[in-house]
Chain A
Amino acid sequence: MDAALGYMSLEDMLSELLERIRGALEVDTAAVLLLDEDRGVLVARAARGLEEEVRQGVQVPLARGFAGRVAAEARPIIIDLDHAEVVNPILRQKGIRSMLGVPIHVEGRVIGVMHIGTLVRRDFDENDVTLLQLAADRAALAIDNARVSEQRAVTEIMQRTLLPNALPSIPGMRFSAKYLPAGSGVKIGGDWYDVFQLANGCLAFVIGDVVGRGVLAASVMAEIRTALRAYLMQGHGLTKVVSMLNDLLVLMGRSRGATLAILELDPQAEEMEAVIAGHLPPLLIEPKGDARLLEQQHGLPVGVRTGHDYQAFRYPFPTGSRLLLYTDGLIERRGESIDASFERLTTAAQAAAQRADSSSSLADGVYRALLDETPLEDDVALLAIESVPLEDTLETTLSARPTVLSGLRKTLGRWLQVVGADEDELFDITLSTSEAAANAIEHAYGAREANFTVSCEHDGQQVTITVRDGGRWRTSRPPGGGRGLEIMRLLLDSVEISSDDEGTAVTMTKRLSHRA
């Protein structure tokens, strides 16, 4: 292809090419239609002398009409319009009499059709066919390249928006993930994972796989991901959420089904709930290293049949537990039984869990053990969740938004259980800290993105918690508009508030009875 054509959009480049063909072959019209494989139609992408064809978005079903036959039969066809079936009315309105069409091939597949036409009858000969086929072949490579870069641009945007750009940072939890689309050109598939905090302070994890790959599979994945987040944010339970998603997909007529596993972890209760819709069973590694697949009763993949009921199962998830969510590309090998695949996964995960430390994540370890040397045949998504011991001192920095409070209470509750607070003490300290944090958030209101920190320590008898807001506001307002401070003072042994140019610090103490 000429260098001059290299920097144009696909449409401009094709139009330019068609103009040259029109001149060289002395014809009146020239057009290119490209195949939309998902819908099985040819779509007009560029035309000369037939511009209406593109403007009106002419679509020709495969195997029908002139262009449809050229594509279906993958060979040059010459017709006389006086005696031929023509799907596209524009060809007749234009008064075209004779046409020659050739297939556009890439790697043996037909990706479209190039055709030319004349307003006076003309017997296209072998020379015309050879010339047009030559032009079509030269166009093919450019079309394919342009498509790949077009898809790549879409893909990059989608990947950026679709995968969590950062895994949440939560004391006592460690997350790691891998996402590797198969194939060389289009780096996106229908696999995905998601991690986010729910309004109730619990954590939601999702792994899933939409049938197919490429931008279309990814767009269905995007719909599913958004729907799941929306339903979960409304506070529905997991079974309800998956049922609603299933009904939604069937209703929207999405022909692509999806498998998924969705889990909700309560870090304080150290318990999780799982719903699986046709997906491979997550792998749970218990604190002592024993591994088991969550082979609970599976529901159907979503998007297949409405009104399907899904069941949730609960599992303990004590400190030291690890959970692996993955898609089939991680473990399935040609010619290997699924049991052998599970066996390999379990062995790899147990070994990686023992080695995983700050320098190498669990997801990395599992991925390296299973796939490092193997070329990818399928997309791979992998999400590892680890519950790790909380330190004696808990320090966390949170964004100054009210929605962080429920998660803070869960984390603090878990820490207080570890340091030996009883039920009453846990309630008093957690609620008071939440009050102080709510107050810090209120101060930050209206300011641009602000953070606050919560530090918790204990000396075996007394717990000391400091909530510090780092904003630059200077005020000596009472926290909580009165009632919040009153609650804190009634529930705790001491509450001290100090404000300076740096912000406000609330320091609270409570002695533990250690009755438990």
Chain B
Amino acid sequence: MSALDIEQIDGVPIAHVNEDIDVANATAIQQRLADALGPDALSLVVDLSATRYVDSAGVDMLLRLSDLLDHRRAKLILVIPETSQLKRLATIVGLPAAIAIQPSLTDAVQEVARAQAETTASHPDSAHEQPTGEQGRH
């Protein structure tokens, strides 16, 4: 395990953050997360299950990342377990109003699938533009 592990599940990049996010590393983490989103991916899941603290610089970073992904017409989904202290923090700073938060990785992956299905339903053409075999880009 390293500080930030990135894997792909069904073509969706999942970033596991295994350390606190604070003013010391927020910018570097934002850069790596933005890079993790390939040119074709529609979603980025950031798993904060193993993260203990996120300070105000970290919260700002997540909001900036969300904006950045919006511009790229992609969606940021955070995984924060119900039992995590970060859940309380997210609520008091109003994070759920700006960023999708799911309690588990499974829930996050399901949300991605739903979003993709909706995109395909509303824009049938764009479905053909999505390359297949995305799993190959490990």
Contact = CB atoms under 8 A, between A and B. Distances in A.
A405 B24 CA distance: 8
Interface string A421-462: 001100100110011001001100000000000000000000
Contact of B93 (A403, A442, A487): A487
B88 A406 contact: no
Interface stretch (A74-82, A232-240, A495-503, A505-513): A232-240
Given A409-B20, A484-B55, A200 B3 contact: yes
A480 B26 CA distance: 14
A293 interface: no
B82 to A, nearest CB: 14
Which range contains the number of B residues in contact with the other chain? 20 to 34
Contacts of A434: 22, 53, 55
Given A200-B3, A240-B2, A405 B23 contact: yes
Nearest to A490: B92
Interface stretch (B56-64, B104-112, B113-121, B123-131): B56-64
Contact of A402 (B22, B53, B60): B22
Interface in B12-62: 18-20, 22-25, 53, 55-57, 59-60
B55 A491 contact: no
Contacts of A292: none
A12 interface: no
Main secondary structure of the interface of A (DSSP, over half): helix
A333 interface: no
Given A235-B3, A483-B59, A199 B53 contact: no
A199 B20 CA distance: 9
A405 B85 contact: no
A201 interface: yes
B19 A235 contact: yes
Contact of A199 (B24, B57, B93): B24
Interface residues of A, number: 31
B24 A435 contact: no
B89 interface: yes
Contacts of A435: 55-56
A405 B22 contact: yes
Contacts of A343: none
Interface in A228-273: 234-237, 240
Given A199-B24, A201-B20, A483-B59, A431 B89 contact: yes
Contacts of A144: none
A441 B93 contact: no
B56 A480 contact: yes
Contact of A235 (B4, B23, B53): B4
A424 B20 contact: no
A441 B24 CA distance: 10
A348 B38 CA distance: 59
Interface string A472-502: 0000000011011011001100000000000
Interface string A198-223: 01110000000000000000000000
A271 to B, nearest CB: 14
A406 B24 contact: yes
Contacts of B97: none
A486 B93 contact: yes
Nearest to B93: A487
A372 to B, nearest CB: 44
A424 B88 contact: yes
B81 to A, nearest CB: 14
B93 to A, nearest CB: 6
A427 B4 CA distance: 22
Contact of A431 (B1, B18, B19, B55): B55
B85 A427 contact: yes
B3 A234 contact: yes
Contacts of B55: 405, 431, 434-435, 438, 484, 487
Contacts of A484: 55-57
B3 A483 contact: no
Contacts of B85: 423-424, 427
Contacts of B19: 199-200, 235, 406
B40 to A, nearest CB: 28
B23 A438 contact: yes
B23 A491 contact: no
A441 B22 CA distance: 12
Contacts of A200: 3, 19-20
B89 to A, nearest CB: 7
Query: Most chain-A Cβ atoms within 10 A of its Cβ — which of B1, B24, B92?
Result: B24
B23 A402 contact: yes
Interface string A399-431: 000110110010000000000000110010011
Contacts of A405: 22-24, 55
A438 B22 contact: yes
Nearest to A404: B24
Query: Most chain-A Cβ atoms within 10 A of its Cβ — which of B18, B20, B23, B53?
Result: B23
Interface of B: 1-4, 18-20, 22-25, 53, 55-57, 59-60, 85, 88-89, 92-93
3 nearest CB pairs, A to B: A235-B3, A402-B24, A484-B56
28 contacts: A199-B19, A199-B24, A200-B20, A235-B3, A235-B19, A236-B2, A236-B3, A402-B22, A402-B24, A405-B22, A406-B20, A423-B85, A427-B53, A427-B89, A431-B53, A431-B89, A434-B55, A435-B55, A435-B56, A438-B56, A438-B57, A480-B56, A481-B56, A484-B55, A484-B56, A484-B57, A487-B55, A487-B89
Interface of A: 199-201, 234-237, 240, 402-403, 405-406, 409, 423-424, 427, 430-431, 434-435, 438, 441-442, 480-481, 483-484, 486-487, 490-491
